[in-house]
Amino acid sequence: MSGIPLCHYQNLVFPCFLVGAYSCSCARQYGMDPGSSSATLFEEEAEASLEKFYPMTLGEVINQKYKVVAKLGFGSASTIWCCHDLVTSKYAALKIYAHDLVSEDEFDNEAAIYKHLSTAGNPDHPGRIYVRTIQDSFFTRSRAGKLHQCLVHDLLSNDILSLRYARSDRKLPEAMLKQILIHLLLALDFLHSECHIIHTVDSSIVEQLDRKEIAASSLCKTVNGYNLYRSVNFGIPKTFGRPILCDFSLARNGQVEHCHDIQPDPYRAPEVILEMPWTYGVDKWNIGVMVWDMFENRRLFDGLDPDTGKYGNRFHLASIVGLLGPPPLEFLQRSEYSSVYFDDQGKWKCLNPVPSVSWEESERNLESVNKKDFLDFVRKMVRWTPESRATASELLEDPWLLGPFLEALGRPQIQSGGRGVSERDFRVDNEKLLFDAAP
């Protein structure tokens, strides 16, 4: 089973170095001060129907077990809450779905994916521990009698995006980026090769929260009896655990092709833009463009019309052509829509020009051999044809990615085309490696 590209980096969370307080890509953690303007829409109030969400009250006990202590975030179809498990005395993240989902399949899909992940594949695969698991799932009714579906997970902390924005240059240090990527690629290899899925906090952090402050200040607004709470920001932890890949609500079966539209605009793979069938290749493309975002603090492709600032397929495709060159004719023949943008020879035919760019000019952080190796790494994923993009296991053998880790393990650096490190090597304690670059 599998989904939207695994690489939206709010889907990576750290259990103390978690990549997200709930670490769900749809769990947004922002909101304007409701006192600033009577017209301000606060957090989930900005969604089309506030009434679809579960009307939570802090201190409420859900399913006779989970006492809600703080709000972690929200999305278009759910809210996320920090809960105290009254049975185990541990903290957990509770995701409560809206009662009027456009399709009830989303919950069924996510719950099924987590169930599949718990039993599928090699239990000793090193990537398994970097994929989020589920603690509990159940249904609950609101006071109005509306049915809501719930998932319970381990509580995580910050997502990758928050780590970036904690830094003045909005860029992840190279050492940190490499370690995150190794964990991410191990998780992706487990999903792709073992589970056939496309992905398309420890207690001390919570205990530092002032309960009175949460209760008094996080209730920001009441609308028609619905309490709107401000999402809690745990801040950047002093120590980090392993990053965890989260949110499988849009995951899909990787053993069949899919045709529906996916991915945030800047992350859309060429086959998605051209409405071709897609499978594992979209995850690979997403890692490539995500790496660029995290390391360069700018989009590899934004797809924006320079005059209007709005996204458009032809601007996105033109920027890809500018960097990668024209697509193979065989690739274009897979889409009935390619003739809108390319002629019979595969040449660009739209009025908007193809920008003149190069990989070397676009990369601004590195020099010499290190720059070349980094660009070679990204180019293995950012390719026109999905089947030509490197797999997660192949990327785990890349010289740019593994060099510092092999040195830490006391082994000589591999040469291009050589065999990568063994699975046992990736079990080295994180703290012995490269997180000294954390903000």
Predicted pLDDT at 344? 94
Q: Are residues 165 and 27 in the same domain?
A: yes
Q: Which of 57-71, 236-250, 334-348 has the lowest mean pLDDT?
A: 236-250
**Closest by alpha carbon to 272, among 200, 326, 340, 204?**
200
SS3 320: helix
- Confidence band for 112, pLDDT divided at 50, 70 and 90: low
- Confidence band for 387, pLDDT divided at 50, 70 and 90: very high
Over pLDDT 90: what percentage of the chain? 28
φ, ψ for residue 3, nearest 5 deg:
-175, -150
SS3 319: helix
On whether residue 183 sits in a domain, the answer given is: no
**Closest by alpha carbon to 377, among 292, 319, 294?**
292
Q: Are residues 132 and 277 in the same domain?
A: no
412, pLDDT greater than 50: no
The domain spanning residue 54 has which CATH number? 3.30.200.20
Q: Judge residue 143's burial from the number of C-beta atoms within 10 Å of its C-beta, 0-12 exposed, 13-18 middle, 19 or more buried.
A: exposed
- Average pLDDT of the segment spanning 105-121: 62
- Residue with the larger pLDDT of the pair 30 and 357: 357
How far apart are the C-alpha atoms of 66 and 89, rounded to whole Å? 10
Would the CA dihedral through 73, 78, 79, 82 be positive or negative?
negative
Q: Are residues 268 and 205 in the same domain?
A: no
Catalytic: which of 202, 283, 293, 398? 202
On whether residue 41 sits in a domain, the answer given is: yes
Q: Are residues 224 and 277 in the same domain?
A: no
383, pLDDT greater than 90: yes
**Closest by alpha carbon to 236, among 19, 11, 27?**
19
281, pLDDT greater than 90: no
243, pLDDT greater than 80: no
Predicted pLDDT at 365? 82
Q: Are residues 153 and 285 in the same domain?
A: no
Q: Which of 84-98, 140-154, 166-180 has the lowest mean pLDDT?
A: 166-180
Q: Please give the residue range of the domain that contains residue 341.
A: 257-396
Q: Is residue 330 within 8 Å of 313, Cβ to Cβ?
A: no
- Confidence band for 170, pLDDT divided at 50, 70 and 90: confident
State pLDDT tens for residues 206-242. 444 444 444 444 567 787 777 888 887 666 666 666 6
The domain spanning residue 323 has which CATH number? 1.10.510.10
Largest CA distance in the chain: 68
Choose the final residue of a domain: 245, 275, 304. Answer: 245
- Confidence band for 98, pLDDT divided at 50, 70 and 90: confident
Predicted pLDDT at 49? 72
Predicted pLDDT at 293? 87
State pLDDT tens for residues 19-46. 222 333 333 333 333 333 334 566 777 6
Q: Are residues 232 and 95 in the same domain?
A: yes
Q: Are residues 391 and 361 in the same domain?
A: yes
SS3 63: coil
176, pLDDT greater than 70: yes
- Confidence band for 406, pLDDT divided at 50, 70 and 90: low
How far apart are the C-alpha atoms of 410 and 123, rounded to whole Å? 27
SS3 278: strand
On whether residue 90 sits in a domain, the answer given is: yes
On whether residue 193 sits in a domain, the answer given is: no
On whether residue 104 sits in a domain, the answer given is: yes
On whether residue 140 sits in a domain, the answer given is: yes
Q: Are residues 225 and 333 in the same domain?
A: no
How far apart, in Å, do the first and last CA atoms of the chain sit? 36
Q: Are residues 341 and 369 in the same domain?
A: yes
Predicted pLDDT at 329? 97
Q: Judge residue 174's burial from the number of C-beta atoms within 10 Å of its C-beta, 0-12 exposed, 13-18 middle, 19 or more buried.
A: middle
Domain count within the chain: 2
Would the CA dihedral through 188, 192, 196, 200 be positive or negative?
positive
How far apart are the C-alpha atoms of 326 and 341, rounded to whole Å? 11
Q: Are residues 215 and 281 in the same domain?
A: no
**For the chain, how big is the Rg over CA atoms in Å?**
22
Predicted pLDDT at 195? 55
Predicted pLDDT at 262? 67
Q: Are residues 88 and 56 in the same domain?
A: yes
Predicted pLDDT at 47? 64
- Average pLDDT of the segment spanning 84-97: 92
State pLDDT tens for residues 311-353. 999 999 999 999 999 999 999 999 999 999 999 999 999 999 9
Q: Are residues 124 and 41 in the same domain?
A: yes
Round the average pLDDT of the chain to a whole number and report it: 73
Predicted pLDDT at 290? 87
Q: Does 202 participate in catalysis according to the annotation?
A: yes
Residue 244: both structure tokens together: 């965890």
On whether residue 317 sits in a domain, the answer given is: yes
Residue 169: both structure tokens together: 């240059």
On whether residue 309 sits in a domain, the answer given is: yes
Neighbouring residues of 395: CB distance < 8 A, sequence distance ≥ 6: 181, 185, 287, 377, 380, 381, 401
